[in-house]
């Protein structure tokens, strides 16, 4: 009955319908290529971690703490051991001597409190969902059943869930050392002078609610050993970082540990982690000498995949009477949850240099305190720090406009960095290399029909239409292309930000690219092939991209922070340059010319002024044969490059959102959404478009739908998708997208990165629109997510409407 | 997300199903589309010892015209209900409400009978069953009986079905001419359950409202018939400026709506009033596409 999907057939179908693949001139870069990886990804005929079956493989299920804060007083696993199919049962005590502590690679201050973080709790649990025991069984059903037979007694301790309460005197302590992990300050200019007698001062507090990353593929791990070497398959974004970290955590020497990220179905930062389950799977395999698999359920994932956002932002802005910004001061509380994970404390720092947005000002002051609470730890989630910063400044710009009575777009124009001022060093000390806010904005306004919508808005206001119209603006920038290693070092991060690529030319002229980036939905196989096709003049189809396996790709810093193209793509370009240089030597030798007289274009080496030429494929074969090479020439065209960027890249854009708010029910509906992004030069417009669409959807989700909710005992209430609402296509409008292209000057491709732009831009655009609709009712903020009930209640309290 | 173990039976006749269910003990459950029962099993919120799958029992599936009423077989899927010409012609309110259930995937699995037997006050069909005075036909070793909808929904996820009883079909009375219908569902995403839903039927002649039926979704531990609205609306002038708004003000009378992540009780009561007005207006304007 069910039709079998054949990857080959699907690939053929994609190709046949592929008008988009029609050549658009000579260049591959810039073509809207359909993704070569999609046939296998969409049919599922590929190696997802959970698809892997190994002989004798056992299955692991974890028992998780039902208590937010408690001492473990008794553990009895004896009954579980006797259950059908059970091979072993372990509790934290069994691993206490060898499990180490889950790593935090970003101690942001010298005195950052980094508590011990045992992968499996031994004496104390600090959040609901923390692993306390596990069953290893012959199948996953037996493992799940036996969990119920494990007995654990807890002595409850008082939990603390709210950051402000956690910092108050006498609060229950999550850790002995107290609930403050660190306080980090950064300043530029004279903030007191900026606020002194400022004609306008706006002060607002915004809540970045806690979010749960929901990658399509749940996390999964398969660990195996031959007794000496270990192999870990994991649905991870960071096979390379993971290998180093696991070696340090488990004591398995790095050269005896291979980490493989097979095809990975999304991450959004949630798989930029060294997880308890990864460490424990390795330890169990080491104990039992058998391969083991663990795959989380969606509810387990909601509990224990690291969460995102969760900040309390106090932002103050001082301005002149005409709206020119004098200074911005930010005081942030960032909820770490119960422990620091891989980059937990660094997430707010990634936003620390962004609360100034695209605007000029005299002074800036930023302070962030990291706070422990009895909840799942937070960490990077699409945008990591930058969506939070962008939200605060873009919301406050609207407040400033309302305060001095000008159009919110006008207030932005008065303050933003002019195109003629680039490169521009901001008050935070970052140098924005390029940008054209005027061009992106003008394009967006035209596509949106701004003036017409404003006219409709006043009409509805006049008529007192129960459905009001609001217009929201977000003129954002972000820093991505993480990251110059020196800058990371100055921020106390534990590693660098370079990326690596190997380019191998095979005897038949086909090309293998080994990349240190680790795609999990971004389409690197396609985009890297386009780059190589252009650079080496080989057909797009002749390029294969290998990634995600530390045995084939030994060196890399993986994929996050919109870094893959702007850093990893440049490493590919550099490696191709080296290949071409070698091939030129061989070509010159074979054609008996001086290398200086040999030109290269479209895959062919030509001796200037003659008709003589050799293709790169001919050179490849000649190099393979090695019969006739220049003296001393090493018989290979292969080359590697490791690229460390000198600067971040700074995509920007203008997003405009029109929202209809039903003042009777509080329901909001996005009527139109326009995004004009400038991500520099574009390698593949189709991929860029996809990233922008998904990003906008995810940002709208924060504005309107998603929130992780804990009750007062610390139980997570949003453990299923009936409670944690993800919007689907049916809940989203059509997006109108366009681009301006202002090339980055910091890299040879002129690219900036696009993975996070949509998410960063869209959240404030939507909330600004809702507030704009309701401003005549006295509303100047609605807490996210702006659910119908929240909008309704805000209207009743602020708008003075009868109950 | 793995259920505890259970026995599984798949009878092919109603007699066999009744026998198997009777023999399987108190903790056995009927399985239809599984779209409410399986989530409970997978979250280990329910531990039935046996499931009796009625999905292939002959004669339980399909819609037939029985003169003064329409009979909808218990295992008729939501999708089949929505597409049925008989349903669309004679009980369009059922089609309108069913079309709002979740998404096409759920509607191809979930069944009409399962939705009523589950007795979830947040489900869209129980309120419709109340509003239309449906009658539920039931079989057990003791024989057959018919339960009026008004006596069927006892409490949250609790119906008048006794252990061993199988719902076989549902009689939907034909209301005759002059009626207009609307189902107004308020939910946060397209696939989400109703925060509040209002099933409305309005009969009018010459601009006057003669009779009104209103069932409310998710306004208590059972679906609720808004009798105060029904009385207040009788005889008022139809249309935007008639008396429907005042009648709808009664919508929260006697309700006891739940508090959950999507809404607090006072907000649900407010919604019930606003949405009832909208539903009555739409129904009286005969806007329902299926009429
Ligand atoms: C993602 C999702 C979204 C949903 N959204 C909605 C929604 O918006 N609105 C809505 O109304 N519903 C919604 N549903 C529920 C859906 O309509 C279900 O199909 C329905 O509630 C139950 O029907 P079922 O056939 O699946 O019953 P099952 O899940 O098989 O059974 C449900 C209960 O009824 C009993 N039962 C079933 N059939 C019989 C019978 N013939 N005799 C006796 N007892 C019986 C079972 O024992 C069980 O207790 C949703 C479901 C899902 C999974």
Residues in A closer than 8 angstroms to B271, CB to CB, are: 665
Question: Using an 8 Å Cβ cutoff, are A698 and A383 in contact?
Answer: no
Is A723–B261 a contact, with Cβ atoms under 8 angstroms apart? Answer: yes
B197 and B124, same structural domain?
no
* Sign of the C-alpha dihedral computed for residues A440, A446, A448 and A453 taken in this order: positive
CATH number at residue B187: 3.30.390.50
Question: Using an 8 Å Cβ cutoff, are A387 and A702 in contact?
Answer: yes
B145 and B111, same structural domain?
yes
Burial class of B289 by CB neighbour count within 10 A (0 to 12, 13 to 18, 19+): exposed
Over the stretch A34-66, which tens digit does the pLDDT of each residue have? 999 999 999 988 999 999 999 999 999 999 999
Is B270–A792 a contact, with Cβ atoms under 8 angstroms apart? Answer: yes
**Is residue B183 one of the residues assigned to a domain?**
yes
B167 and B240, same structural domain?
no
At B290 the pLDDT is: 39
**pLDDT at A206 exceeding the cut of 80:** yes
Hey, which residues does B131 pair with through a beta bridge? none
**Is residue B291 one of the residues assigned to a domain?**
no
Distance in Å, alpha carbon of A665 to nearest chain B alpha carbon: 6
B98 and B29, same structural domain?
no
Give phi and psi for A118, each to the nearest 5.
-65, 135
Give, for ligand 1, the residue of B22, B97, B109, B110 to mutate: max count of ligand atoms closer than 8 Å to Cβ.
B110
B162 and B134, same structural domain?
yes
**pLDDT at A22 exceeding the cut of 90:** no
Q: Which two tokens stand for residue A55?
A: 């002989």
**Is residue B1 one of the residues assigned to a domain?**
no
Question: Using an 8 Å Cβ cutoff, are A348 and A333 in contact?
Answer: no
Which residue, of B173, B198, B229, is where some domain finishes?
B173
At A21 the pLDDT is: 57
Question: Using an 8 Å Cβ cutoff, are B28 and B50 in contact?
Answer: yes
Question: Per the omega criterion (within 30 degrees of 0), is the bond before A745 cis?
Answer: no
User: What is the Cα–Cα distance from A171 to A332, expressed in whole angstroms?
Assistant: 19
Sheet with A735-739, side-by-side order of all strands: A467-477, A652-662, A668-678, A735-739
B278 and B184, same structural domain?
yes
Q: Which two tokens stand for residue A436?
A: 């054209």
A636-645, B112-121, B280-289: least confidently modelled range:
B280-289
Ramachandran quadrant class, A776 (left: phi over 0; alpha: psi -120 to 50; beta: rest): alpha
pTM over 0.90: yes
**Is residue B235 one of the residues assigned to a domain?**
yes
B76 and B24, same structural domain?
no
Q: Which two tokens stand for residue A490?
A: 């100055």
B278 and B255, same structural domain?
yes
CATH number at residue B74: 3.30.465.10
At A9 the pLDDT is: 73
For range A148-155, the mean pLDDT: 98
At A626 the pLDDT is: 98
Please give the C-alpha separations between residue A446 and each of A145, A410, A440, A450, in angstroms, as whole numbers.
Answer: 60, 15, 10, 7
User: What is the Cα–Cα distance from B157 to A653, expressed in whole angstroms?
Assistant: 50
Answer whether B161 contacts ligand 1 (Cβ < 6 A).
yes
A522-526, A598-602, A794-798, B158-162: least confidently modelled range:
A794-798
Which residue, of B173, B205, B233, is where some domain finishes?
B173
Atom of ligand 1 nearest to the CA of B168: 41
For range A631-641, the mean pLDDT: 97
B67 and B47, same structural domain?
no
At A802 the pLDDT is: 37
Give phi and psi for A248, each to the nearest 5.
-70, -35
Q: What is the ipTM of this complex?
A: 0.95
Answer whether B31 contacts ligand 1 (Cβ < 6 A).
yes
A58-64 and A292-295 strand pairing: parallel
Q: Which residues of A touch B (CB under 8 A)?
A: 140-141, 144-145, 148, 297-300, 664-665, 667, 705, 709, 717-718, 720, 722-723, 725-728, 730-731, 787-789, 792-793
Over the stretch B131-171, which tens digit does the pLDDT of each residue have? 999 999 999 999 999 999 999 999 999 999 999 999 999 99
Is B190–A728 a contact, with Cβ atoms under 8 angstroms apart? Answer: yes
**Is residue B58 one of the residues assigned to a domain?**
no
In order of their start, the domains of chain A are 49-157+216-266+271-304 (3.90.1170.50), 391-481+647-800 (3.30.365.10), 498-643 (3.30.365.10)
Question: Using an 8 Å Cβ cutoff, are B207 and B239 in contact?
Answer: yes
Q: How far is CA A356 from the centre of its chain?
A: 21
User: What is the Cα–Cα distance from A202 to A399, expressed in whole angstroms?
Assistant: 7
A325-337 and A363-372 strand pairing: parallel
Task: Look over chain A and give the mean of its residue pLDDT values, rounded to a whole number.
Answer: 96
**Is residue B2 one of the residues assigned to a domain?**
no
Q: Whose CA is nearest to atom 43 of ligand 1?
A: B166
Buried/exposed B170-196: b ≥16 CB within 10 Å, e otherwise: bbbebbeeebbbbbbbbbbbebbbbbb
When scoring A148, A214, A297, A788 by the number of chain B Cβ atoms within 10 A, the one with the most, hence best to mutate, is A788
At A25 the pLDDT is: 61
B189 and B125, same structural domain?
no
Q: Answer with the residue of higher pLDDT: A435 or A799.
A: A435
Residues 6 or more apart whose Cβ sits within 8 Å of residue A387: A309, A351, A699, A702, A756, A759, A760, A763
CATH number at residue B11: 3.30.43.10
User: What is the Cα–Cα distance from A147 to A145, expressed in whole angstroms?
Assistant: 6
Range of the domain at B252: 179-285
Residues in B closer than 8 angstroms to A725, CB to CB, are: 188-189, 192
Which residue, of B173, B189, B219, is where some domain finishes?
B173
Q: Write out the DSSP string of A623-679.
A: HHH-SS--TT--S---EEEEE--SS-B--EEEEEEEEEEETTT--EEEEEEEEEEE-
For range A286-290, the mean pLDDT: 98
When scoring A789, A793, A797 by the number of chain B Cβ atoms within 10 A, the one with the most, hence best to mutate, is A789
The H-or-E segment that residue A365 falls in is strand A363-372
B115 and B27, same structural domain?
no
Of A363, A447, A441, nearest in space to A408 by CA: A441
Question: Per the omega criterion (within 30 degrees of 0), is the bond before A209 cis?
Answer: no
**pLDDT at B209 exceeding the cut of 60:** yes
B260 and B217, same structural domain?
yes
**pLDDT at A724 exceeding the cut of 60:** yes
3-state secondary structure of A93: helix
What distance in angstroms lies between residue B35's CA and the mean position of ligand 1's atoms? Answer: 5
Q: Give the count of alpha carbons within 13 A of A562, CB side only.
A: 30
Give phi and psi for B62, each to the nearest 5.
125, 170
Residue indicated by tokens 């780059």: A531
Count of domains in chain B?
3
Q: Which two tokens stand for residue A421?
A: 């001022």
Give alpha helix (H) positions in A416-480. Answer: 437-448, 450-463
């Amino acid at each position: 009955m069910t039709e079998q999907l054949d990857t080959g057939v699907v690939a053929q179908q994609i190709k046949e319908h592929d008008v988009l693949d029609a050549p658009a001139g000579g260049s591959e870069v810039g073509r809207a290529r359909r993704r070569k990886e999609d046939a296998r990804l969409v049919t599922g005929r590929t190696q997802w971690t959970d698809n892997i079956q190994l002989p004798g493989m056992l299955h692991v299920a974890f028992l998780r703490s039902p208590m937010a804060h408690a001492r473990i007083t008794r553990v009895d696993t004896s009954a579980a051991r006797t259950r059908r199919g059970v091979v072993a049962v372990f509790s934290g005590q069994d691993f206490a001597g060898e499990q180490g502590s889950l790593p935090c690679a970003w101690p942001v201050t010298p005195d950052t409190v980094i508590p011990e973080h045992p992968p499996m709790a031994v004496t104390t649990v600090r959040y609901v969902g923390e692993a306390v025991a596990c069953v290893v069984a012959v199948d996953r059903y037996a493992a799940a059943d036996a969990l119920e037979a494990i007995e654990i007694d807890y002595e409850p301790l008082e939990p603390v869930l709210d950051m402000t309460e956690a910092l108050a005197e006498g609060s229950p302590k999550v850790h002995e050392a107290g609930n403050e992990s660190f306080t980090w300050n950064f300043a530029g200019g004279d903030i007191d002078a900026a606020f002194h007698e400022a004609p306008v001062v706006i002060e607002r507090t915004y809540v970045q609610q806690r979010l749960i990353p929901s990658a399509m593929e749940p996390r999964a791990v398969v660990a195996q050993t031959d007794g000496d070497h270990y192999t870990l398959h994991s649905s991870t974004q960071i096979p390379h970082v993971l290998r180093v970290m696991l070696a340090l955590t488990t004591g398995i020497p790095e050269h005896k540990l291979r980490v493989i990220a097979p095809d990975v179905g999304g991450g959004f930062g949630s798989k930029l982690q060294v997880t308890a389950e990864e460490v424990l799977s390795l330890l169990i395999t080491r104990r039992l000498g058998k391969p083991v698999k663990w795959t989380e359920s969606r509810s387990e994932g909601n509990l224990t995949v690291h969460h995102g956002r969760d900040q309390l932002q106090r932002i103050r802005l001082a301005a002149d009477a005409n709206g020119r910004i004098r200074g911005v001061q930010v005081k942030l509380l960032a909820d770490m949850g119960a422990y620091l994970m891989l980059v937990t404390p660094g997430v707010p720092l990634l936003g620390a240099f962004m609360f100034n947005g695209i605007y000029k000002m005299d002074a800036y002051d930023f302070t962030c305190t990291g706070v422990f609470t009895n909840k799942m730890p937070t960490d990077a989630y699409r945008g990591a720090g930058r969506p939070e910063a962008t939200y605060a400044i873009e919301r406050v710009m609207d407040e400033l406009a309302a305060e001095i009575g000008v159009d919110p777009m006008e207030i932005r124009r008065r303050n933003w960095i002019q195109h003629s001022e680039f490169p521009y060093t901001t008050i935070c000390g970052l140098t924005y290399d390029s940008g054209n806010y005027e061009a992106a904005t003008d394009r967006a306004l035209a596509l949106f029909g701004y003036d017409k919508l404003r006219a409709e808005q006043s009409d509805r206001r006049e008529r007192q239409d129960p459905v009001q119209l609001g217009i929201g603006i977000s003129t954002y920038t972000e820093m991505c292309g993480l990251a110059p290693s020196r800058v990371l070092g100055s921020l106390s991060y534990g590693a660098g930000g370079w990326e690596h690529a190997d380019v191998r030319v095979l005897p038949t002229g086909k090309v293998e690219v080994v990349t240190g980036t680790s795609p999990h939905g971004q389409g690197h196989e396609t985009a890297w092939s386009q780059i190589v096709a252009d650079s080496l003049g080989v057909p797009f189809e002749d390029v294969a991209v290998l990634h995600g396996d530390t045995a084939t790709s030994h060196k890399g810093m993986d994929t996050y922070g919109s870094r893959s193209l702007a850093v990893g793509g440049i490493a590919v370009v550099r490696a191709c340059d080296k290949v071409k240089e070698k091939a030129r030597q061989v070509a010159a030798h074979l054609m008996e010319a001086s290398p200086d007289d040999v030109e290269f274009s479209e895959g062919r080496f030509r001796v200037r002024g003659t008709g003589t030429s050799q293709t790169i494929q001919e050179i490849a074969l000649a190099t393979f044969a090695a019969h006739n090479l220049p003296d001393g020439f090493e018989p290979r065209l292969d080359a590697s490059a490791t690229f460390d960027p000198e600067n971040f890249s700074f995509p920007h854009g203008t997003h405009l959102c029109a929202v209809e708010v039903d003042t009777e029910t509080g329901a909001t509906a996005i009527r139109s959404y326009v995004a004009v992004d400038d991500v520099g030069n574009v390698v593949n417009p189709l991929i860029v478009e996809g990233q922008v669409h998904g990003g906008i959807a995810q940002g709208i989700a924060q504005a309107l739908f998603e929130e992780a909710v804990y009750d007062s005992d610390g139980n997570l209430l949003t453990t299923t998708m009936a409670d944690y609402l993800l919007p689907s296509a049916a809940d989203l409008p059509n997006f109108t997208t366009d681009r301006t292209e202002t090339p980055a000057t910091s890299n040879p491709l002129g690219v900036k990165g696009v993975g996070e732009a949509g998410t960063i831009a869209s959240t404030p655009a939507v909330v600004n629109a809702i507030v704009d609709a309701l401003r005549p009712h006295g509303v100047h903020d609605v807490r996210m997510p702006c659910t119908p009930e929240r909008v309704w209640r805000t209207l009743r309290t602020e708008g003075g409407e009868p109950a | 997300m793995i259920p505890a173990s259970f026995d599984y039976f798949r009878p092919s006749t109603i007699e066999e199903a009744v026998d198997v269910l009777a023999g399987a003990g108190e903790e056995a459950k009927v399985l239809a589309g599984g779209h409410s029962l399986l989530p409970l099993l997978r979250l280990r919120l329910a531990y039935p010892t046996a499931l009796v799958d009625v999905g292939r029992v002959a004669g339980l599936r399909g819609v037939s015209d029985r003169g003064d009423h329409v009979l909808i077989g218990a295992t008729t899927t939501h999708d089949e209900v929505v597409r049925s010409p008989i349903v669309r012609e004679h009980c369009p309110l059922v089609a309108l409400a069913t079309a709002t259930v979740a998404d096409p995937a759920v509607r191809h699995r979930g069944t009409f009978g399962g939705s009523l037997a589950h007795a979830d006050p947040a489900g869209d069909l129980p309120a419709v069953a109340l509003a239309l005075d449906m009658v539920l036909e039931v079989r057990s070793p003791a024989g057959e009986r018919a339960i009026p909808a008004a006596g069927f929904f006892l409490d949250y996820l609790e119906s008048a079905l006794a252990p061993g009883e199988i719902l076989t079909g549902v009689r939907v009375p034909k209301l005759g001419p002059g009626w207009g219908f609307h189902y107004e569902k308020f939910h946060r995403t397209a696939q989400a359950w109703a925060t509040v839903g209002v099933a409305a039927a309005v009969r009018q002649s010459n601009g006057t409202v003669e009779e009104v039926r209103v069932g409310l979704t998710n306004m208590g531990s059972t679906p609720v018939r808004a009798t105060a609205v029904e009385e207040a609306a009788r005889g008022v002038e139809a249309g935007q400026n008639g008396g429907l708004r005042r009648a709808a003000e009664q919508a929260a009378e006697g309700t006891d709506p739940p508090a959950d992540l999507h809404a607090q009780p006072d907000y649900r009561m407010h919604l019930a009033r606003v949405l009832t007005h909208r539903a009555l207006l739409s129904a009286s304007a005969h806007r329902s596409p299926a009429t």
